[in-house]
Structure 1
Amino acid sequence: MTDVVHLVKLSAGTESVEQLQRWQASRAAQGPDGHPRHVTRMWPKREQAILAGGSIFWVIKGLIQCRQRILRLDEVTGQDGIRRCAIVLEPEIVRVTPAPRRPFQGWRYLAAQDAPADLRSARADDDALPPELAGALAEIGVI
Structure 2
Amino acid sequence: MSAQKAPTLHMIKLIVGCTSPEMLRDWVAVERHRGTAYVRTRTMPKRAEDIVQGGGSIYRVINGLIMCRQPIIGFDSYTRDDGHPGTLILVSDEVIPTQPRPMRPFQGWRYFKPEDAPPDLGKGAADLPDDGISSLPASLRNQLSELGLL
**What TM-score, normalized to structure 1?**
0.87
Percent of residue pairs bearing the same amino acid type:
39
Q: Deviations over 1:92-112 (max 9, x none)?
A: 100001111001110111101
Runs of 4+ in 1 over 6 A off after TM superposition: none
| 1:117 counterpart (99, 108, 119) | 119
Compute the displacement of 1:79 (Å): 4.6
* Residue aligning to 1:37: 38
CA distance in 2, matches of 1:61, 1:54: 23
One-letter amino acid of the structure 2 residue matched with residue 135 of structure 1: E
| 2:90 counterpart (72, 76, 88) | 88
Which structure 1 residue ranges, 5 or more long, are not aligned? none
One-letter amino acid of the structure 2 residue matched with residue 126 of structure 1: L
Compute the displacement of 1:16 (Å): 1.2
What is the aligned-residue RMSD (CA, Å)? 1.6
**Deviation larger for 43-52 or 128-137:** 128-137
* Residue aligning to 2:24: 20
* Residue aligning to 1:133: 144
Compute the displacement of 1:91 (Å): 0.1
How many matched pairs?
A: 136
1:73 and 2:75 are equivalent in the alignment: yes
Compute the displacement of 1:120 (Å): 2.5
Compute the displacement of 1:80 (Å): 3.9
Q: Is the 8 A contact 1:62 1:135 kept in 2?
A: no
